[in-house]
């Protein structure tokens, strides 16, 4: 009898969740210039980069891809941005600072691992971004349902950053489609690591035509998810050279909905 494989932890496993994230906190708070870091997001990010370069590599968005996404924030100017997968808070600090600088109000970082959420919260607090950035602990699907359906805190996703397990990108996108929070010309989806380690099922979906997506739904058992194959996406994948090798971001706009 075949079984469905459970999502696995990010690869390579040896580069995360081995104590280096807590060691990063000791490094940051043990620095002689700690007072200069307080309420200064860019200096906190620079200190994290120094740790990454000189001590242990961290699975952060990095400067190159990060600068590209902050450019999208400046262009799109979302009031609220949501990220799935916060890790140690690097992206939350970088993007939260950009959200605030462009007149935005809220950056929600959803992180399943409570230890990583604790590290992230400490660094976000140090950077002085508590007024903009909030870390929520739990699985992405449950937290999204809570934010949209239960709390009614979100009625539309203006900008979404997917950076958790690649196997969850598509199910979480289907959930958002079902909840109706993606809007034409207003929602922008940014998915990281679509080349390394790769997110082929997600890429197939956001690049497919509505007819192709309806065929995918018919072929797969997607229950209890209710994807909306009629949404028309426009997706491009810029590529970057990172410390880990070549990678890409999937940038997806919702450009319409096909009437069947």
pLDDT at 251: 98
At residue 211, φ and ψ (nearest 5 deg) are: -65, -40
CA distance 112 to 125: 19
Any domain includes 78:
yes
Radius of gyration of the chain from its Cα atoms, rounded to whole angstroms:
18
Is residue 101 situated within a structural domain? yes
Residue from 94, 71, 85 nearest 7 by CA:
85
On whether residue 92 sits in a domain, the answer given is yes
Are 47 and 28 spatial neighbours (Cβ–Cβ below 8 Å)? Answer: yes
Total-model pTM: 0.92
Separation CA 81–CA 101 (nearest Å)? 13
- pLDDT, tens only, 16-48: 889 999 999 999 999 999 999 999 999 999 999
Q: What is the pLDDT of residue 244?
A: 82
> Residue 237 falls within a domain, yes or no?
yes
pLDDT per residue over 151-204, tens digit each? 999 999 999 999 999 999 999 999 999 999 999 999 999 999 999 999 999 999
Task: Look up the CATH number of the domain holding residue 86.
Answer: 3.40.50.150
**Neighbour count for residue 198 (Cβ, 10 Å):** 13
The rounded mean pLDDT for the chain is 93
Output the six-digit token pair for 226. 């209710």
Q: Does residue 6 belong to any structural domain of this protein?
A: no
Locate 181 and state its tokens.
């929070």
**pLDDT mean over 215-239:** 95
Beta strands in 187-230 (DSSP E): 188-191
Note the pLDDT of residue 14: 57
Average the pLDDT over each of 6-20, 111-125, 192-206 and give the range with the smallest value.
6-20
**Host domain of residue 176:** 13-257
For the chain, list the strands marked E by DSSP: 80-84, 106-111, 133-137, 159-162, 188-191, 231-236, 239-242, 245-248, 250-257
Does 3 map to a domain? no
Give the count of domains, the chain: 1
Pairing of strands 159-162, 188-191: parallel
231 closest CA partner among 189, 162, 183: 183
What is the SS3 assignment for 213?
helix
pLDDT score of 38: 98
């Amino acid at each position: 009898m075949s079984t469905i494989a459970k999502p696995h932890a990010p690869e390579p496993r040896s580069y995360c969740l081995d104590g280096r994230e807590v060691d990063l906190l000791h490094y940051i708070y043990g620095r002689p210039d700690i007072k200069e870091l307080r309420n200064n997001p860019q200096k906190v990010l620079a200190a994290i980069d120094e740790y990454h370069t000189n001590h242990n590599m961290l699975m952060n968005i990095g400067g190159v891809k990060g600068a590209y996404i902050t450019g999208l924030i400046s262009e799109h100017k979302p009031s609220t941005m949501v990220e799935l997968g916060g890790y140690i808070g690097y992206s939350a600090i970088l993007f939260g600072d950009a959200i605030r600088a462009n007149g935005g109000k809220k950056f929600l970082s959803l992180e399943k691992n409570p230890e990583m959420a604790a590290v992230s919260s400490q660094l976000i607090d140090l950077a002085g971004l508590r007024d903009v950035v909030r870390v929520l602990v739990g699985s992405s699907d449950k937290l999204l349902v809570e934010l949209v359906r239960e709390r009614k805190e979100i009625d539309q996703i203006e900008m979404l950053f997917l950076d958790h397990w690649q196997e969850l990108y598509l199910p979480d996108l289907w959930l958002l489609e079902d909840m109706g929070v993606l809007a034409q010309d207003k929602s922008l989806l940014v998915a990281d690591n679509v080349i390394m380690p790769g997110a082929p099922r997600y890429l197939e979906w956001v690049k497919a035509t509505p007819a192709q997506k309806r065929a995918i739904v018919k072929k797969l058992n997607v229950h209890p998810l209710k994807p909306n194959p009629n949404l028309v996406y426009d997706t491009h994948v810029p590529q970057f050279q990172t410390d880990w090798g070549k990678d890409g971001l999937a940038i997806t706009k919702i450009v319409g909905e096909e009437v069947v």
